[in-house]
């Protein structure tokens, strides 16, 4: 069995770990923001949320530039279907 000292992450794995951590932090800040009951607290949480969103995007861009994160362009039909789905949901909420 290997100890922590014997395990080295590859660059790809390290970046993926960083990306996952930033996404998790953003989800925690999102919960704190929606549960926050006073403006100073919400303002502080929003500042941290924005900082982590910027960091998450920087890590994503680094992964994309190195070919570690593959994205596919969305087909127009898929975009239209998603837009229609959310438009219907919004109409139901407003009704």
Tell me what the pLDDT averaged over the chain comes to: 90
Is residue 24 predicted with pLDDT exceeding 80?
yes
Give pLDDT tens digits for 43-70. 999 999 999 999 999 999 999 999 999 8
Rounded to an integer, what distance in angstroms lies between the CA atom of residue 49 and that of residue 11? 25
Residue bearing tokens 């995007």: 57
Average pLDDT of the segment spanning 4-18? 87
Rounded to an integer, what distance in angstroms lies between the CA atom of residue 87 and that of residue 95? 12
Is residue 77 predicted with pLDDT exceeding 70?
yes
Rounded to an integer, what distance in angstroms lies between the CA atom of residue 26 and that of residue 46? 10
- Which of the four pLDDT bands, split at 50, 70 and 90, describes residue 9? confident
Residue bearing tokens 């919400």: 42
pTM of the predicted model as reported, rounded to 2 decimal places: 0.70
């Amino acid at each position: 069995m290997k100890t922590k000292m014997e395990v080295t992450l590859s660059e790809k794995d390290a970046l993926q770990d960083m990306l996952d951590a930033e996404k998790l932090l953003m989800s925690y800040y999102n919960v704190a923001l929606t549960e926050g009951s006073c403006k100073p607290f919400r303002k502080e949480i929003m500042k941290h949320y924005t900082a982590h969103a910027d960091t998450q995007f920087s890590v994503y861009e680094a992964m994309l530039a190195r070919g570690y994160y593959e994205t596919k362009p969305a087909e127009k039909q898929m975009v239209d279907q998603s837009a229609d789905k959310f438009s219907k949901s919004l109409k139901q909420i407003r009704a």
